[in-house]
Structure 1
Amino acid sequence: MYFSFETIPTFVWVFIATYAIYLIKKPRLSKNEPPMVPYKYPIIGHTVDYALNADNFLVECRQKYGDPFNIYVFGQVFTIAGNEIAHEVYKQSDTFSLTIATRDMFPLYRVLKSVLDPGTLEQVVKTIREGITAKLSLYTGRLQKQIMTYINKEIGDCSSPKLIKTANDNFASMIARPIADVLVGQEISKNEDVIKAFADFTKDFTKILAIPPILSFIHPKVHTQVITLPLRIGFNPILKHLITLKKHLKPVLEKRLKEKKILGEKYEPPVDIVEYFLDNPEYETKAITDDYLTKITEFLFSIVVASIHTTSRHLTSALYDFAGRPEFWDDIYEEQLRIDKECNGELTPHHINKMVKLDSFLRESLRTFDAVASTPHRCLESYTFKNGMTIPKGRTVQTYLMDIHYNTTAYGPEPRSFLPYHGLENNFSASRTDKNFFMFGAGKHACPGRFFAVSEIKIGLHKLILNYHIRTPSGKVEKKVHYGPFSEPPVAGLIFESRKK
């Protein structure tokens, strides 16, 4: 290879730039920090292992370096907290912030400006607890009707086996219907454009985040600025969803305000989050202005982000777990058939609670979802764990979910095996959080919508199992799709065949 004299300065500057980045980005650990796992490649660190083989990589790190330990990924030091330490992180809610860490990794505030307001999250949590969880019994019948609407429309008659592809939406439309019913009421939830807006909102936003954080090697904020650049220059793939909801929501809000004024105490308020919002003194209004409409629309989509995408993924995953395990089909079907006869097809919370085998199966599906590490928390001030290790202010702590969900103390010598009745045998419901089950978080900041989500999934599974034989194309358990430490349901599709009545 020939090198001219002119190329020498180029190589020199490349070498200097690379070495400068190395010096700047070289991890600098404080005293008494968790051990840093050694890595081979400067600047890159553990990025390749973490991105391509997170499960095996973190298992090996845990065995060699204990809990917690530090890794260096995409230009940042992360502390990985497993079964022994994660509980301490979740208990120290004043020191570790899930909200700030998530906001940096999932910059939704670029679209929903109200997300930046610290009071928004508190209001969302309060709304879910008071407006949804506390009124769950009032929603049960409506959830069933919406789910059956989806089943009849999208799956329908399967007298001959029908392959339903799941890769594109993971039954998001099935979950979006009852969510829309609860959030915006029965008038709007029948509108297919609104259903589509709810189902596609999170999916369309995550397309922006699909770019690997390569620029984080320079600085995490550089990556965030680049991936959100389209939003700042006017290309907003989810703006259409906001416009759709505002269009259909405005006449409903105006109608309700008018009826309240005319009827006074005789006004019968609908049971939904829109009405809860209108009744909140903080959001009281005499006219539906565009600013007010934007505020309530962004608030509703804040709940959508936290509900539809996650719930639909876990419903889909549970269907795959059921479809690939024929040894449990009859047992779970018989429970659903018995409950269906008891309630004459109209489920109540009492009947949903009696689905103990289905509930236990769902809990196990959630436990074995195979997300390796997730739920980041930002350390707001230097913190020393009870074991004496200290992490500095600004550090992100990742929850090592597999270390929690696959620990031998709780789940026996083969914790990675599927234990469908572990929850039933130990009196653990699918919505219950404990030190060995972090699917919904832990402590006082555990997901407030988990009771609604579990009920929704159980109703969906109940109706589908009652109406169809469901199996995988291979006849076996399909493998989940992994993206670094994250997982998604399989994409092989599910075969539905109508049961003979």
Structure 2
Amino acid sequence: MYFSFETITAFVGVFIVTYIIYWVKKPRISKNEPPMVPYKIPIIGHTLNYLFNAEKFLAECRQQHGDPFNIYVFGQVNTIVGNEIAQEVYRTDTFSKSSAMRDGDSFPLNRVLKILEYPETLEQVAKTIREVISAAKLPLYTERMQKQLMISINKEIGDCSNPKLIITANSNFSSMIARPVADILVGQEISKNEDVVKAFADFTKDFASILVIPPILSFIHPKVHSQVITLPLRFGWNPIRKHMITLKEHLRPVLEKRLKDKEILGDKYEPPLDIIEYLLNDPEYGTKVITDDYLNKICEFLFFIVVVSIHTTSRHITFALYDFAGRPELWDDIYEEQVRIDKECIGELSPQHINKMVKLDSFVRESLRTFDSALIPLPHKCLESYTFKNGMSIPKGRIVQTYLMDIHYNTTAYGPEPRSFLPYHGLENNFSASKIDKNYLIFGSGKHACPGRFLAVNEIKIGMHKLILNYHIKTPSGKIEEKIHFGPFVSPPVSGLIFENRKK
């Protein structure tokens, strides 16, 4: 076989470039770090197992190397923490989800939402949620939530005299959750506008469309990937701009009217109960004039809450409905509880009636526990070098991911078969769906636990209560449907759910 000089030169060039990348990208691990899981393919490291065999791969790593351990994916070392170490990460200020989100190389979110460039934004969001929709204030929203959810149920599912297949991948449940969230965020007057509800429902889907590209170029350097993937934004393409325009169009006259009413009525002004009213009175976000810059700031703030509320809540109510629909042995028991409560409240739920949904609450908790994501989607970033209590250290800047299955499927907390669906485990052990626990990390832990978890669980319970009362719900196969796995993460099944009117 004949090779030309040019061919040989090209081979040599490729070899040299590959060697340089390998040498530059070879992970350097210090003596006291968690063990690096061995890998066979230079540069690629564990990426293929991470993408295509995550559950088995991480289980083997945990068994062989303990907790924590290091893996090498997409050109950088990640530390994986499990059941023994995770609490340290969640209860120590050295580890930051906001920094990982803001500075992430796979896609810097501040390129889309400029407000995330300011470190205090996430703290302000958490403070706003705690003060406006805390557990103590949730009763103020109960009537509004169930009213908005019923509007959504009638619109998205409607009459099912004949069995109707609802394809859940079409964001039906995003629309269902968007309506009560819009009511709480921007008030009852704006939430009646279908364009605003649609903007809230579609925002996360369009937002996610620019995050799905795997960070292949990170094998060269993470910054290369972030620079390339954000090129379209620099040239003006932005899939969420239309949603911002819609919200600003409808929000401006409402904010202007509220400011005018305050000025005219003074102490007689009755403030509406919603987040935009809270922001108007907040020292950081308050204003006396509604300018374009102010509208941009407020809308970005609101849309960030949309990302962390509508997206997660709609996903988990979808998971819960599939869990219910695929387990006919639970139907009668949970349905009977909803019928009894409905008779007590005559169709108008109060907070006390929601608290009586103990079987449904326990079922929801178990659905949240077993939703089957191997890792928690939001990583933490180590802000300065840190030594764990077991003596292992990690450097500043290290990305730390939480091995959720190691926590949610541990035998100490959940018995010899922790992967089994235990619908009444929460009820039997007095654990509500919103109660954080070292063995239940879906809402985080410590002072950084999700402040919106009480609202999310209430929305899921009210939504499921109304759906179970009104419809027989089953899967097309009559069995538990397979979830969709994307690397170590998971999405609800796409087979759809069959709804049929219950006979009254």
TM bucket normalised to smaller: over 0.9
Correspondence 1:69 to 2:65: no
Q: How does 1:95-134 map to 2 (within 5 A)?
A: 95-103=94-102, 104=104, 105-133=106-134, 134=136
Runs ≥4 residues deviating over 6 A: none
Distance 2:101 2:288 in 1: 35
Secondary structure in 1 aligned to 2:354?
A: helix
How far apart, CA to CA, are the structure 1 residues paired with 2:107 and 2:479?
35
Quick one: which of 288, 302, 305 aligns to 1:303?
Answer: 305
Deviation sequence 1:345-403 (CA, Å, 0-9, x none): 11111111110000000000000001101231111111111111111111111100000
The question of whether the paired residues in 1 share the 8 Å contact of 2:149 and 2:463 is answered with yes
Q: Distance in 2 between matches of 1:376 and 1:132?
A: 25
Q: State the alpha-carbon separation in 2 of the partners of residues 283 and 152 from structure 1.
A: 36
What is the one-letter code of the residue matched to 1:425? E
- Over 3 Å counting, the alpha-carbon distance change for 1:125 and 1:106 in structure 2 is farther
- Take 1:186 and 1:471, find their aligned partners in 2: how far apart are those partners? 34
Structure 1 counterpart SS, 2:148: helix
SS in 1 for 2:70: strand
Work out whether 1:482 is the aligned partner of 2:485.
yes
Give the corresponding residue for 2:78: 78
Tell me if the contact between 1:246 and 1:297 (Cα under 8 Å) persists in the aligned partners.
yes
Other structure's SS at 2:189 match: coil
Secondary structure, aligned partner of 2:170: coil
Contact preservation (8 Å) 2:107, 2:230: no
Contact 2:50/2:487, CA 8 A, preserved across alignment: yes
CA distance in 2, matches of 1:170, 1:321: 17
- The one-letter amino acid of 2:385's match is S
Q: Per-residue deviation at 1:3?
A: 2.2
Task: Give the letter for the 1:391 counterpart.
Answer: I
Q: Give per-residue Cα distances to partners, 1:21-42, cap 9 Å, x unaligned.
A: 0000001001211111110100
Query: Which residue does the alignment assign to 1:37?
Result: 37
% identical aligned pairs: 78
Pairing 1:305-454 to 2, within 5 Å after superposition: 305-374=307-376, 375-454=378-457
1:68-97 superposed Cα distances (whole Å, 9 cap, x missing partner): 11111111111110000111111112x111
User: For residue 463 of structure 1, what is the aligned residue in structure 2?
Assistant: 466
Distance 1:485 1:102 in 2: 18
Residues 170 and 313 in structure 1, CA contact (< 8 A), matched pair in contact too: no
Question: Which amino acid in structure 2 is aligned with residue 376 of structure 1?
Answer: P
Q: Deviations over 1:428-462 (max 9, x none)?
A: 00001111000001111000000000001100000
Q: What displacement does 1:219 show? A: 1.3
| 2:166–2:498 Cα contact (<8 Å) kept | yes
The 2-side partners of 1:233 and 1:436 are apart by 46
Contact 1:209 1:227 in 2 (8 A): no
Q: Work out whether residues 101 and 378 of structure 1, in 8 Å CA contact, stay in contact via their aligned partners in 2.
A: yes
Query: Is the 8 Å Cα contact of residues 156 and 172 (structure 2) preserved in structure 1?
Result: no
Q: Deviations over 1:43-71 (max 9, x none)?
A: 00110011001000000111111111111
- Distance in 2, Cα, partners of 1:291 & 1:281: 17
Q: After the TM superposition, which residues 231-270 of structure 1 pair with which residues of structure 2 at under 5 Å, given as runs?
A: 231-270=233-272
What's the TM-score once normalised by structure 1's chain length? 0.98
Question: SS of 2:456's equivalent?
Answer: helix
Contact 2:98 2:119 in 1 (8 A): no
What is the SS of the residue equivalent to 1:307?
helix
- How far did 1:108 drift? 2.2
Change (3 A) 1:2 1:190: farther
Farther-moved stretch of structure 1 (409-418 vs 133-142): 133-142
Q: Partner letter of residue 76 of structure 1?
A: Q
**Contact 1:170–1:316 (Cα < 8 Å) also in 2:** no
User: What 5-or-longer segments of structure 1 have no aligned partner?
Assistant: none
- For residue 2 of structure 1, report the CA deviation from its aligned partner: 4.1
8 Å Cα contact 2:97-2:380 kept in structure 1: yes
How far apart, in 2, do the equivalents of 1:76 and 1:67 lie? 19
Report how many residues are paired.
Answer: 500
CA–CA separation in structure 2 for the residues paired with 1:154 and 1:385: 49
Q: Which runs of 5 or more residues in structure 2 are unaligned?
A: none
What amino acid sits opposite 1:247 in the alignment? E
Deviation at 1:336, TM superposition (A): 0.5
What secondary structure, in the 3-state scheme, does the structure 1 residue paired with 2:400 have?
A: strand
Aligned-partner SS, 1:397: strand
